[in-house]
Amino acid sequence: MEVYTPMIHPELDYSKVKSLKETFKLKGIDIDQYLESDHFKFKQGGEKRALQILTSAMKLTNPLTKPLISIDCEASEDNTKKLTEIGIAILDPQISTPGSIVPQIKTIHLVILENLQLHNYKYVQGNKLKFMGGTSYVLTKKQAENILGQIMEKYITTRDGVLIGHDVKQDIKYLKKAGIQVSQTIHRIDTMALIKLSRDSGHSLWAVLKQLDIPHANLHNAANDAYYSLIAAISLCDPIVRLNKDLDFYLPTSSSLSKKYQPRNDEAKFILVDDEQKFIDDVLSNKG
């Protein structure tokens, strides 16, 4: 069992960050003031492009007026042409009551009948049977693609929604293969692209969730991944989360977060606390 050691924060100039947070406490969050601030310290040489990517994503969610649709597809590790699952998570601002602090997210897990017997285990531990929403729907590939197409039509095409994914270009490739028209100008938020602005490694979905302190389990289930990608996206686009988690600084990542996801990554780490005062000081700090 490890022994608890007090948190160590990087040697950074937090004066501008603290000033922004104090202003937001007094006057409320101003997304334009945040984005125009000079507190950002992204990777040298790529600062301008990084801020463009961040601005594009944050303007789509602040304020939240467009539906957010997160999609994840799982395929057989032996034949990637064999689709096994589709996960869809929907955050519709028309459903959520204005002023509510709890996002109302509808998550759907579609399992492909033709490949029902296929389970991944060689390279990643698949979790097809562990959708945390409780109910998985088994359909033919054609039925599943029809449902996905109608959801895209309703939320993305008709209502000018935002497509979300972790490495979203891969999901767009699948959509096109399924015959679903995806415009080049579609709004999109890529959680992998966003975390790459802030960290030199640890860009997998599970590493992103760890860095954001979002409890999670049973990844590599399409619906779970779609849900967590949506939660990660709105977190990465939240100015207060970004300020608290040092996401506006380009920093190194713990080597443990650069590894591939394994089921044991979901297990809690037991750490022995020797000095409870240092522990409570960290718990009650304003960092993260």
pLDDT for residue 178: 78
The yes or no reply on domain 2-283 and CATH 3.30.420.10 is yes
187: β partners: 162
The one-letter amino acid code at 19 reads: S
Q: What angle do CA 19, 21, 24 make, to 5 degrees?
A: 110
What is the band of 259 on the pLDDT scale with cuts at 50, 70, 90?
low
Sign of torsion, CA 253 71 268 264?
negative
Q: What is the pLDDT of residues 75-119, one digit of tens each?
A: 899 988 899 999 999 999 988 766 677 889 999 999 999 999 989
The CA distance from 227 to 206, in Å, is 12
Distance between start and end Cα atoms, the chain? 24
SS3 call for 178: coil
What is the band of 230 on the pLDDT scale with cuts at 50, 70, 90?
very high
**Residue extents of the structural domains in the chain:** 2-283
User: How many CB atoms lie under 10 A from the CB of residue 129?
Assistant: 10
